Chain A
């Protein structure tokens, strides 16, 4: 379970960001229980292995048309993330 300190802060799915905007990753909601070995768990792990860990800055560079994937920049690398995946990555925009 995710535990939150103090007041809820605005958490947005990555897909809510416009091209060029960036945020700090707060959580990836793809898991179906820890170590359950479900596919969701595997993909969350894959994303983290590619550097998308909580607390990391992520920038949406552009999104492909027709609800296509997002191009993001994270830890200096350029990744394409399917939209379904991106919807489960939550970020916080710091003012």
Chain B
């Protein structure tokens, strides 16, 4: 049972998507596990053949429990049952389909790579019955997610001595670049300011590595990459922060595509284990909903959280004159055990500097 976030202690195996004899390769989704944050698709990290499954569907086991045994590839005669159809249906969609009595084979997927999402299933159910309403998620699910957030945030506030910094960034150059870029792009390829903010943060972290990583067992461990957790509010309440891996190395269009994919999958309940297990910092963009600034609570064992408020025209002094400029307030919540305010300040300054040269991001 993999750890899908620091706050996870146990998970319930929902179903096996691969079975003894099936060949698997790194990245394949082999199982679905139910956690407090919803159903997560579990990826395998080794190539090989499933020898046997140890945990049965329905069993709740602690993190670290062996779920299945995979033997190295090369064993001839293993039966190959590649069930690709199933792999492209989100766990939530499958659950909703069984509740609504929808035949999944009849549903057209609109998710990433044609994946069938919960919305697709509900639409199919609605068409059949002439009803368009979506059933509310179970109260249990909402309560479990609330509990998970409560546990992680309580631990954070109890253990992490937060310090908070803020700076105002002129977004004129970044937005001008974005407007010109988007004018030439079809609607499906347009880039949101959030992609620039995330890329600027990831790039800035290269120079301030002590804010990128984990505080574990009384010591700081630098992240093996810059994996930016993106706080995504779910429509029915709750929050997840899946990661954009190696965000500093992604081009802006690639980052935007991955961000879009992550938001879509987070909201349709089809996140994968690699999405949720290893963010090294979190970025929250609450400003999208209208607040000026957000001072976040660090998601343990991470040591920093960067927040962006609303980008809005405000008075600023430019070349000695007051002018209306698109400004954004960037904030940093830092873990004082791992870094000092001076270094945190350097991160915010670097983010601001990168946003003045969007073409270099």
Q: Do A and B bind?
A: no
Hey, which bits of chain A sit against chain B, CB under 8 A? none
Which residues of B are in contact with A by a Cβ distance under 8 Å?
A: none
